Amino acid sequence: MYLAKFFHRPPGDDDRELLLIPGNEPIVIGIYMDEKREIQRDDFLREEFSNLQTAITAFRRHAAELVASGYVETTHTKYTLRNLLPDPQPKPNWQKGLDDLMLAALSAPLEAQEKLLEALGDTQAADQPLYLWLAAHHGYADDRNNDDVIALAECGRDTLAAHRAAKTAHYAWSIYEPELTARIFEVLSWAQLRADNPAAALEAIEEACKASTSQDRGVLRATILCDDFPERQEEAFDAAYKCHAYGGYEEIIEMPAYADYVARRKRISTSDKAWRWHTKNPASEDDLRKVEEALGTRLPKDYREFLAKRGESELQVRLPKDSAELCFYRPAELATQRENLFDFIARDEKDEADAYFREAYGVAASDLLPIAEPAHYSRCLVINLGQGERFGWCFQWDHDGAWELEHAAPSFDAALKALTDGIAKRDATVLKFLGVYLD
């Protein structure tokens, strides 16, 4: 998580950014807005701290010093921004108040957080998903009425989803939206556990992990599975086997059944196919009709049949030393995924991107639909929805080579077979795409 404040002082040739990076060793960085300069200047500030409370105190102090020097804090939030011109606007007080609340949630006592929540309760801030998450988090930490905590978290979840569907803005400081989504679902999971509703808690933490995975969220999911869903215990063991070195899985790996699981994993032979299907959430005909309406075209027959059979699902790889998951999107996510991919590829060069992809690969970049991604990696399997002889072709795409497509397959079925055959043969190229790197 990155928390950034931006400061403007006319004529704008010395604008500044203050960046707080929380964590075990928090850092405050002061950055010049030097995008237009021929010679870039080094950061004007860099301080490392042993604890977050001290870092936040310094962050506030540096911000106050800039204001005292004639700077005005602006509405900008994107921490990678390097130019505030041409017309930076002052940040409204309710947004500054949400910033203060976020900092208090990271470092201040519950009583101080309560005062800030009350002060913002009658302002525009109270309708923001960020406020609703922080209010739910505070209520849970302060052991308030659990029904109220659940209601706040659900309101935050629904409000964020509504903004996303309507493509309207909300204020979340510089917190990445998937991370905010994950934190809302995380609080909801805690509260559902407190309400003795493990099914709802599991559903919430799985949504949190899909939005933005973390070690703590993975541990919580695995713990719920072990405690309340014995038929899915092996999923918890999969997570512990892969991630226990980073901490949190101690109780799980001490279970007698875990030792048996480890022994089975180590016995996996080279003749074992090493892949399996995990989840299975078949899409209804109504689901498929809606996604085709949203996409403006009919899906290729083989991929449509896959969604009707499996829907949102995982292709899991299990080797003696490695694990991986290829996560297939739910139908309702597809239109957004296509838009996000094209925006990333094309940015301000939409026509040029389409022309280049047609010349190089016989498809338009705007017709590429992401359908699955390896867990924890910014790459995906895409399918071409453009009409013509390459309708339904599949490719592999990686954000490190945004204008590149690899491993063309003439259909979804062919692409899936190439993947599963490659896993069974321990093909290094296929495994690398999935995030498994053989010695």
Q: Which residues contact 180 (CB under 8 A, 6 or more apart)?
A: 129, 130, 133, 160, 172
State the pTM of this model: 0.85
Instruction: Identify the CATH number of the domain defined by range 276-434.
Output: 3.40.1580.10
Torsion angle of alpha carbons 230, 235, 239, 241, nearest 10°? Answer: 80
* Helix orientation angle between 129-141 and 110-120, rounded to the nearest 10 degrees: 150
Per-residue pLDDT of the chain (439 residues; tens, 9 = 90+): 899 999 999 988 899 999 999 988 999 999 998 777 778 888 999 999 999 999 999 999 999 999 999 999 999 999 988 899 898 999 999 999 999 999 999 999 999 999 999 999 999 999 999 999 999 999 999 999 999 999 999 999 999 999 988 889 999 999 999 999 999 999 999 999 999 999 999 999 999 998 898 999 999 999 999 999 999 999 999 999 999 999 999 999 999 999 999 999 999 888 899 999 987 789 999 999 999 999 999 999 999 999 999 999 999 999 998 999 999 999 999 999 999 999 999 877 888 999 999 999 999 999 999 999 998 889 999 999 999 999 999 999 999 999 999 999 999 999 999 999 999 999 999 999 999 988 7
Number of other residues whose CB lies within 10 A of the CB of residue 326: 25
Phi-psi region of 325 (alpha: psi -120 to 50; beta: other; left: phi over 0): beta
- In which element (H, E) is residue 225 found? helix 215-228
DSSP state of 80: T
